[in-house]
Amino acid sequence: MIPVEEALEIVLREARALPGEDVGLGEALGRVLAEDVASDVDLPPFDRVAMDGYALRAADVATAPVALDVIGEVRAGQWPDLTVGPGQAARIMTGAALPPGADAVQQVEKTQPLDEFRVTVLAAVASGANVAPCGSEVRAGDIVLARGRVIDPSAIAVLASAGKARVRVARRPVVALLVTGDEIVEVAVRPGPGQIRNTNGPAVAAQARLAGAEVRLLGVAPDRQDAIVEALRSGLAADVLVVSGGVSAGDYDLVEPALLDLGATFLFTRVAIKPGAPLVFGTCGETLVFGLPGNPVSAQVTFDLFVRPALLKMQGARILGRPRVEVELLGAVKNRAGRRSHVPARVRFEGGRLVARPVRSMGSGDLAAHARANALVVIEADRVQAAAGESAEALLLGNFLEDDGAPL
């Protein structure tokens, strides 16, 4: 049994960078940027007006109210064909370019038209007010996004501003996924006596997709070594092979021998983690192989802690782990396992600090409890419990920001 950090180190050491490919901006969401992106333009590209109002010379309105001559209008998308002289103003719209001669804009609410050609400016403005100067946000040639960034909507906006209709990203890792277990039936089936629906297949596939992978489903194999070997064979063409179940110490836990038959080398087979001690990792040729415990929560947690970082590293992502925060426990948590424990909890910002309410859970099979959690409170292997009021470390899960405001 090896510590969590050591296991993760081994996994990340084996996870090698995938080549890049070019995709259209519309397909870039969730991919990992494989190039540094420089802007090809200044941002703003001209002295951009931020308010509807009047372009003027700030010095002219220092003693407002002051009446100015209105010499014309500048609209967004129009290059100004007028120059604002002393005692003059031009009507101007948000997004328009500041005309030469003007150095500020007074918003329309602080003006009063006298007639078509005269306006009273009711308040003074500072030079530069309501104008974003050309290049003040980004200079042409500046790096606006660095490789390793996971492309989210705000990154899409930056890519769009830099003219990147196509962008270089890491190829998606291909994950082949096999579910094992005589008791497992497909989702659409009503389970018979002793049977259980396949929850790990869909859940782990979803986790892999959110981590940028393309998933190939290898189906459900019964607990027979020859059947598992057969089902796994086609998975060896994938970058990562994930097997659910069949890695505990039971007589019908045949994933390890099946993988050995296929020539896999194991780098570890047990990790000091709860949930999920039986966690197998190795390689088979170029393919990384993970054997996840079958218990639904164990499968999801070990995926999140080991497989997800591997997939992200293969894509060159800069950040591989979930955010860690310090929380104050609102309830006690126990850890009798002698392993590093991950307790499902709901974390919320409250009273100036992050607080965590442990979710009532029946254990590593309780997938409903896991779905109520938005974080995992971490209790180290050498601690048997943590009391309410103590501070603890928590890993924020992917759903952390989806807070329905319900009481913890």
Chain residues binding ligand AMP by CB under 6 A are: 179, 181, 183-184, 196, 198-201, 244-248, 250, 253, 293-296
Residue 325 identity (one-letter amino acid): V
Q: CA–CA separation, 102 vs 52, rounded Å?
A: 15
Q: Give the 3-state secondary structure of residue 257.
A: helix
173 binds Mg ion (CB under 5 A): no
Name which of 181 and 344 has its Cβ closer to Mg ion: 181
Candidates 142-150, 280-288, 294-302, 309-317: pick the segment binding Mg ion (CB under 5 A).
294-302
344 binds Mg ion (CB under 5 A): no
Q: CA–CA separation, 163 vs 37, rounded Å?
A: 10
Name which of 159 and 277 has its Cβ closer to ligand AMP: 277
CA atoms within 13 A on the CB side of 377: 31
Strands 340-350 and 353-358: antiparallel
Name which of 80 and 291 has its Cβ closer to Mg ion: 291
> Which of positions 201-260 make contact with Mg ion (CB under 5 A)?
245-246
End-to-end CA distance of the chain: 35
Q: How far is the CB of 293 from ligand AMP (least distance, A)?
A: 5
Strands 287-292 and 240-244: parallel
Q: How far is the CB of 4 from ligand AMP (least distance, A)?
A: 19
Which of Mg ion, ligand AMP, none does 201 bind, CB closer than 5 to 8 A by kind?
ligand AMP
296 binds Mg ion (CB under 5 A): no
Name which of 201 and 344 has its Cβ closer to ligand AMP: 201
Nearest to 345 by CA among 357, 354, 333, 330: 357
With contact defined as beta carbons under 8 Å apart, do 240 and 291 qualify? no
In order of 4, 257, 270, 298, 387, the CA distances from 384 in angstroms are: 17, 35, 21, 20, 10
Question: Looking at 20, 44, 181, 358, which residue binds Mg ion (CB under 5 A)?
Answer: 181
Q: Which helix (H) or strand (E) holds 120?
A: strand 118-121
Q: How far is the CB of 278 from ligand AMP (least distance, A)?
A: 7
With contact defined as beta carbons under 8 Å apart, do 290 and 306 qualify? yes
Lookup result for tokens 């490789």? 147
With contact defined as beta carbons under 8 Å apart, do 76 and 172 qualify? no
Q: How far is the CB of 243 from Mg ion (least distance, A)?
A: 11
291 binds Mg ion (CB under 5 A): no
Residue 362 identity (one-letter amino acid): M
The 8-class DSSP code of residue 276 comes to: -
Q: What is the largest CA-CA distance in the chain?
A: 93
Name which of 246 and 309 has its Cβ closer to ligand AMP: 246
Which of Mg ion, ligand AMP, none does 106 bind, CB closer than 5 to 8 A by kind?
none
Q: How far is the CB of 252 from ligand AMP (least distance, A)?
A: 8
Could you tell me the two tokens for 280?
């197998």
Name which of 44 and 245 has its Cβ closer to Mg ion: 245
Q: Which residue is nearest to ligand AMP (CB)?
A: 294
Q: How far is the CB of 249 from Mg ion (least distance, A)?
A: 11
Q: How far is the CB of 160 from Mg ion (least distance, A)?
A: 48
Name which of 199 and 341 has its Cβ closer to ligand AMP: 199
Q: CA–CA separation, 194 vs 184, rounded Å?
A: 9
Candidates 39-47, 127-135, 179-187, 255-263: pick the segment binding Mg ion (CB under 5 A).
179-187
Residue 379 identity (one-letter amino acid): I
Name which of 19 and 192 has its Cβ closer to Mg ion: 192
Q: How far is the CB of 248 from ligand AMP (least distance, A)?
A: 4
Could you list the residues that contact Mg ion (CB under 5 A)?
181, 245-246, 294
